[in-house]
Structure 1
Amino acid sequence: MNRRYFLGVALSAVAAPAFAKKPADRPRVLAFNHLHTDERLAVTYRVGDRYQRSALQEINHFFRDFRTGDQVSIDPQLLDLLYDVKTYLGDPDARFDVLSGYRSPRTNKMLRETSGGVAKNSLHLTGQAIDVRFPDLPTRYIRDAAIALGRGGVGYYRRSDFVHLDTGSVRRWGA
Structure 2
Amino acid sequence: MKRQLDRRQLLTGFVALGGAAVTAKKAHASLHRPGSDFLHWDNSSEKRLAFRNVHTDERIDARFFGKHGYDERGLAEINHGLRDWRTGDITEVDTDLLNLLVSIRDRLDISPNQPFDLICGYRSPLTNRMLHERRGRHSGVATHSQHLLGKATDIAMPGVPLARLRMAAEFNQQGGVGYYPEDGFIHVDTGPVRSWRG
Q: Give TM class, smaller chain.
A: 0.7 to 0.9
What residue number does 2:186 align with? 163
Is 1:29 aligned to 2:52, yes or no?
A: no
Is 1:126 aligned to 2:149, yes or no?
A: yes
Is 1:52 aligned to 2:71, yes or no?
A: yes
Unpaired segments ≥5 residues, structure 2: 1-40
3-state SS in 2 of match to 1:30: strand
Is 1:95 aligned to 2:115, yes or no?
A: yes
Unpaired segments ≥5 residues, structure 1: 1-21
3-state SS in 2 of match to 1:146: helix
Is 1:84 aligned to 2:103, yes or no?
A: yes
Q: List per-residue Cα deviations over 1:105-129 (Å, max 9, x = no partner).
A: 0100111112211100000001000
Match of 1:75 among 78, 94, 104: 94
Q: Which has the higher contact order (CA 8 A, sep 6+)?
A: 1
Q: Aligned equivalents of 1:135 and 1:91: distance in 2?
A: 11
Larger-gyration structure (1/2): 2
Q: Aligned equivalents of 1:28 and 1:90: distance in 2?
A: 14
Q: List per-residue Cα deviations over 1:5-48 (Å, max 9, x = no partner).
A: xxxxxxxxxxxxxxxxx955221121110111111011111124
TM-score (norm 2): 0.74
Moved more, 43-52 or 157-166: 43-52
Q: What is the identity, as a one-letter code, of the residue corresponding to 1:60?
A: N
